[in-house]
Structure 1
Amino acid sequence: MKSNLLFYIFLFFSFLYSSALVANSICFVTAENGLIIRENPSISSKVLGKFEFGTRIHLSDETEQYVDTLLIAGKQRIGYWVKISTHTFSCYATEDQKEGFVFNIFLDDEQTFVAKIQEGFSKFTQLKDYQLDTENDIFCLKGDFLGDKITDTAILLKRKEQNQEGYYDKNIVILNYNATSKEPKVTFLSKEDGYEWVGVFVKINAGTPLWSNYDEDWIDFDKVLEKDKVLLTYDCFLLHAAEACGGNFTFWKDNKFNYLQQE
């Protein structure tokens, strides 16, 4: 009897949580290893793609809720499948795909997600002059960006005060929570011209082959010389202008950030 009561209590609060997400219409992915997008509200349904941690997604205007119990990390988790509109994952699904479904226990509403990132961010005194750049669709990534097998947090930042030209200087910081260190490691990217142009900020998974197409646009990978390929055993990220050509793969190597130009 007690276990049944707990089940219904949990189900009730899950319903309230799911409804809040629907009301807000915008939410963020909290699964560090990514959130699977499925064609239908079922664990056995076709996989359409995956959202990385920190992706801002829009729930469909016609979102329906489908209660389900999934076995996750060895534990039964009760939640809802919610429908999302395709314009939030055009990079992850085919053009003719109109909708998809994700499991809501890996979603936070915008206010909750920003508050969580801000809480961790505020612990670093080196960042007291900065604030989160939440205007970008993705402003926070999780991954092993420093190649030490520790999950780092990469964040888009902007200064709290405007510069002389009336703009907010922007930068990107990597926060490394190495439990063996006395002080968490804070690593800023060292580009001098700021990052006002960044519109695309996405994680590139370890093992993805990288190369520059700056000299020869759209060169196929099989035509790239071996000496020009970069194959990392850890994660990096792609910075790119949202509506224009120009950007780079940004990766840590030889104790500094390196850049491969992409057009």
Structure 2
Amino acid sequence: MKKIILLIFLVLNTFVFSQEVFQVIAQEGLTVRLAPNGKRIGKIPYGYPVNILEKGEPFSIKDNGKAKTGNWVKIDNTSTKVILDEGINDSILKENFYGFSGYLITQKDFINQFEKEISTHSALKDFYLDKSYQCFAIKGDFFGDGVIDYLYRMIDTNGNIRFYIIDNQKKGSQIYGLGGEKDPFKIKNYDFPILMMIPKGTPLWSNSDKGIKRNLNGISKNEIVTLDYDAIYVHQENKKEGGFIFRKDGKWNWLNQK
């Protein structure tokens, strides 16, 4: 009888664990592998949800000299955004993926963290976080001062989907808004399902010229932008519309990515 009760408890415990949604908090994305500590195949970007199918063995790593503990977990890769590494065929999406839970927090805690931060800015009191998207908040050094900034996907008073970027400074902060009537790129609604932070040092370019699609090898050096701070990437899931967004020389810049 004790064995039966224990078995039921374990099954129920696994079930409850798997029903909770988690969010990636690794700034440059959660590494995913084919097995616990196995071959790396890609990553899930910061801010994307993760459904955990199974909790595995405990694991710990050193991150900036500090111990980070958690477990290897089996991930439902159909419920999130997986960016495969170069050279990995997308047929691998049929396989099981594993990641380290030390870079995951519950979606509830993720939302609470950012709603608490948003509430400190009186300029945002009439707007609210748009949690209908998989990714509704990212962070990175978007202004090149070594301080981590936040970007929130929010709804304004006119129902427009907008990006609000908080430039966190060593003393105080400044808020920039993209979207609405005065958007620098004439984009009223930022209804791009894909939203990611692009790490500093990543080559940025426009891959479309007069309707002709180009790859990085076909771009002249003077067209490539390489920043020593982070950028923003947005894109539609099925439509060929999107781009890189970055702050430079006191203004926002856009590079098309078809």
Give the TM-score normalised by structure 1: 0.80
Distance in 1 of aligned mates of 2:205 and 2:28: 25
SS in 1 for 2:18: helix
Q: 2:168 aligns with which of 177, 188, 205?
A: 177
Letter in 2 for 1:116: Q
Structure 1: unaligned runs, 5 residues or longer: 1-16
Aligned partner of 2:244 in structure 1 is 249
Q: 1:196 to 1:188 in 2, by over 3 A?
A: closer
Structure 2: unaligned runs, 5 residues or longer: 1-12
SS in 2 for 1:150: coil
Give the TM-score normalised by structure 2: 0.81
Distance in 2 of aligned mates of 1:216 and 1:27: 40
Aligned partner of 1:79 in structure 2 is 70
Task: Using the aligned pairs only, state the percent identity.
Answer: 25
Aligned partner of 1:92 in structure 2 is 84
Decide whether the 8 Å contact of 1:64 with 1:82 is kept in 2: yes
Q: 1:149 to 1:215 in 2, by over 3 A?
A: farther
Cα deviations by residue, 1:185-235 (Å, 9 ceiling, x for unpaired): 212223444224311111212122122114243212222123322222211
Decide whether the 8 Å contact of 1:21 with 1:108 is kept in 2: no
Q: 1:53 to 1:18 in 2, by over 3 A?
A: farther
Determine if the alignment matches structure 1 residue 112 to structure 2 residue 103: no
Aligned partner of 1:55 in structure 2 is 48
1:107-146 alignment, distance < 5 Å:
107-146=104-143
Aligned partner of 2:175 in structure 1 is 186
Determine if the alignment matches structure 1 residue 65 to structure 2 residue 56: yes
Aligned partner of 1:199 in structure 2 is 193
Distance in 2 of aligned mates of 1:259 and 1:129: 27
Aligned partner of 1:234 in structure 2 is 229
Letter in 2 for 1:222: N
Letter in 2 for 1:125: S
Provide the aligned C-alpha RMSD in A.
Answer: 2.4
Question: Displacement, 1:249?
Answer: 1.0
Decide whether the 8 Å contact of 2:42 with 2:82 is kept in 1: no
Aligned partner of 1:37 in structure 2 is 32
Decide whether the 8 Å contact of 1:31 with 1:106 is kept in 2: yes
Aligned partner of 1:221 in structure 2 is 216
SS in 2 for 1:148: coil
- How many residues in Structure 1 have an aligned counterpart in Structure 2? 235
Determine if the alignment matches structure 1 residue 211 to structure 2 residue 205: yes
Cα deviations by residue, 1:239-258 (Å, 9 ceiling, x for unpaired): 22222111221111111101
Cα deviations by residue, 1:33-77 (Å, 9 ceiling, x for unpaired): 4322222223xx2222223321222323xx242223434443444
